[in-house]
Amino acid sequence: MKRRKYVKYAKGVALITSMIFLIVFSALAVAMASLSGSNLQIAENQRKGDHARACAESGLEVMHYWLDQVAVPGDTPQSQVFSQFASSFQTETYDISNLVPAYDGESTMSVPNITLDSARAKSFSAVVSPVGTETVQADITGTYAGLTKTLRVNYKIATRAHTVFDFGVATKGPLSLQGNILLEGVNISVESSVYIESYDSALALEIIGNSQIGGDVSIANSSASVSLQGGMAGIGGETGSDAIENHVSYGVAPVEFPSPNPGYFEHYATNIVDSSTDMSEDATYENIRIAAGTNPNFTGNVTLKGVVFIETPNVVTFAGNAEITGIIIGDGELEDNSGTNRIEFQGTVDSNPVSVLPAEEQFTGLHDETGTFLMAPGFHVSFGGNFSTLSGAIAGNGIEFFGNAGGTINGSVLNYSDEEMTLSGNSDLFFNRSGTTEVPAGFVPEIILEYDPNSYAEIAI
């Protein structure tokens, strides 16, 4: 009797235990199914998020490329820098049909949604705005299937590091050397390297006779050519085809020609020279302003100290010897290649830097304006006599050395004209650019946006 009761009891326990296990396993199955569904949804969200981030990364590369193209003049007022960046960006991208930036006129430039893959609903947008006076911030948002990811990077407002002052001679037009010309570095040959744009002329460089360029030649026009005529015509210490093959580069990235700013020196020029001034005798002039239309011919031995500011129109001739401790400035237009305005040195030139000017009131502030000997946009500049040293950069719209002109130039020679720059006769030029680390006085380098890779971050908006 007792055994039967035990058997019935055991069977009841087994049934209850089975039901408990069934409930537990069912709950586990439901939980696992639910977890599997959640994991699937999480994986799908992560997949969408990765696609959205990839869209943002693509947008970041696109924006980085175009923002790297923008530049504004270095003399732009600080309050207008960002608006000028926006204008430059719009100009650079105006022919890109699906990239149409908008500027609110105050502090925000935006790029509306740009489709990357219409079939898969991939796109990006961007918002660019200033942060203080030294930084521009870019937020790039990638979108995929309704999910977004935003990346943020900063750009520093900076000046362009590499300019034509990295070369001994830089010209927008072609260059011609005829006769017994030598361009060489005082310390190393690279100081006499040459940069030529020559977009309007297929013949970028012509060397005739026994002329030599000590450094290498970089030509922006990828379709340009070089002609060497004469057994001794050479570049980089070699002649003939070896000189061209080993020392000429075509299609190089354009290098910036900083904008000359003659007005920077105008306030120094307080003493007027006009048609009533006697320039036939030996004389000393300090901080002079040559009035428009004077066309002075300094026939005697002239000593110039401080700033020589030349108004347009003018043809200024130094027929005798000139001793210059200062800077010669012409206030012409940078686009004027007519040759109407000219500065001609027919005799010997002795030059000293402004740093050795007397410590007198009229030169206050000028001693630190170093690195420039002559800056004359819109003026054709020619040298026909020799010189020991010219104490700074030379810039004009048309540069010519002829006859026995030659000596050392402590800086670069810049030709802003598209017309040919010519060196002829026996002009040996030695370039000393040692220790030159700053843009010469009066030249304004472009302001650019410099990407800061350390600023990269993903943000939540």
Q: Are strands 122-131 and 109-117 parallel, antiparallel or unpaired?
A: antiparallel
Could you tell me which residues come within 8 angstroms of residue 41 by beta carbon, excluding any fewer than 6 positions away?
none
Cis ω for the linkage preceding 313 (within 30 of 0): yes
Instruction: Give the pLDDT score at 39.
Output: 57
Q: What is the mean pLDDT of residues 110-127?
A: 91
Question: Which tens digit of pLDDT belongs to each residue from 203-216?
Answer: 999 999 999 999 99
Question: Which tens digit of pLDDT belongs to each residue from 129-172?
Answer: 999 899 999 999 999 988 899 999 999 999 886 689 999 999 99
CA distance 378 to 257: 14
Question: Which tens digit of pLDDT belongs to each residue from 419-445?
Answer: 999 999 988 999 998 876 688 999 988
Question: Which tens digit of pLDDT belongs to each residue from 350-402?
Answer: 999 999 999 999 999 999 999 999 999 999 999 998 898 999 999 999 999 99
Nearest to 179 by CA among 423, 398, 399: 423
Furthest CA-CA distance within the chain: 152
End-to-end CA distance of the chain: 78
Query: Is 432 in a helix, a strand, or coil?
Result: coil
205: tokens are: 């460089």
Instruction: Give the pLDDT score at 461.
Output: 65
> Per-residue confidence at 11, pLDDT binned at 50, 70, 90?
low
Q: Is 366 left (phi over 0), alpha (psi -120 to 50) or beta?
A: alpha
Distances 411 to 185, 219, 394 between C-alpha atoms, Å: 11, 20, 8
Nearest to 176 by CA among 150, 147, 143, 201: 201
Nearest to 48 by CA among 170, 149, 174: 149
Q: Is 70 left (phi over 0), alpha (psi -120 to 50) or beta?
A: beta
Q: What is the mean pLDDT of residues 105-109?
A: 90
Question: Which tens digit of pLDDT belongs to each residue from 284-320?
Answer: 999 999 999 999 999 889 999 999 999 999 999 999 8
Could you tell me which residues come within 8 angstroms of residue 25 by beta carbon, excluding any fewer than 6 positions away?
none
